[in-house]
Amino acid sequence: MIAHLRGILLTKAPNLALVECAGVGYELSISVSTYTALPKEGSETRLHVHTHVREDQLALFGFHELQEKRLFEKLLTISGIGPKLAITVLSGISSDRLVAAIRGGDHATLTKIPGIGKKTAERVVLELKDKLDDMAIPESSSHAAPHRGLAGDDALSALTNLGYARPQAQRAIDITLERDPALANDFEALFRAAMSAMR
């Protein structure tokens, strides 16, 4: 079972990475957040890997963060969620926000994720709510997240979807909100200001 890969990133796309290790190229399905965290093509990279085995297929799923891999594997335990939908879920929301939504029984946030309807959202909360205690939200984001607000989360998602590295986008948003906390309730203004801060 492949659990981790370190090698040269040959190609990357928002849903796929090709990593060469000792002359062998491994194709991995990835989430958008892992894509934004990857280095430029030709650089060395490390990915946590989930090997999904079926009778007719062997598929690899790569994750920049170990927590994202563990969350992916927990999603797979839910009836009706296969690996493709699980990776789509992780592309539609950050791991920290997903954990917070499940713990808080926030069905509204979950149903905004592509592929997740009301019944699936209810199943996710019911089956995982008490199984995420070991998934602590990292301190760096737990301090920043409360004042970032919904507009901040949406701006972060928009910036990472545009290809900006997540840590860089987080810093820009946090700096912008330190200067003007009122922007936490104004997505458009916060997004424009954060974009300016990164230039």
β partners of residue 59: 52
Q: For 47-63, how does the pLDDT look when each residue is reduced to its tens digit (9 = 90+)?
A: 999 999 888 889 999 99
Q: Domain of 171: which CATH number?
A: 1.10.8
Kindly state whether residues 114 and 152 are assigned to the same domain: no
182, two tokens: 């009122």
Predicted pLDDT of residue 113:
85
Q: Give the integer Cα–Cα distance in Å for 195 and 172.
A: 8
State the burial class of residue 196 (Cβ atoms within 10 Å of its Cβ: 0-12, 13-18, 19+). exposed
Q: Domain end: 14, 35, 63, which one? A: 63
Amino acid identity for residue 112 in this structure: K
Q: Domain of 53: which CATH number?
A: 2.40.50.140
Top mean-pLDDT range of 18-27, 52-61, 140-149, 156-165: 18-27
Top mean-pLDDT range of 21-35, 131-145, 153-167: 21-35
Predicted pLDDT of residue 114:
81
- Does 140 have pLDDT greater than 60? no
Kindly state whether residues 147 and 185 are assigned to the same domain: yes
Kindly state whether residues 75 and 110 are assigned to the same domain: yes
Kindly state whether residues 143 and 192 are assigned to the same domain: yes
Asked if 132 and 96 touch (Cβ cutoff 8 Å), the reply is no
pLDDT, mean of residues 8-34: 94
Predicted pLDDT of residue 148:
66
Q: What share of the chain is helix, strand, coil (3-state, %, to 5)?
A: 55, 20, 25
Range of the domain at 16: 4-63
Q: Give the integer Cα–Cα distance in Å for 31 and 93.
A: 10
β partners of residue 25: 20
Overall domain count for the chain: 3
Residue count of the chain: 199
Q: Which residues of 75-97 are buried (b: 16+ CB within 10 A; e: fewer)?
A: beebeebebebbbbbbbbbbbbb
pLDDT, mean of residues 173-185: 83
Q: Domain of 121: which CATH number?
A: 1.10.150.20
Q: For 70-114, how does the pLDDT look when each residue is reduced to its tens digit (9 = 90+)?
A: 999 999 999 889 999 999 999 888 888 898 889 889 898 899 888
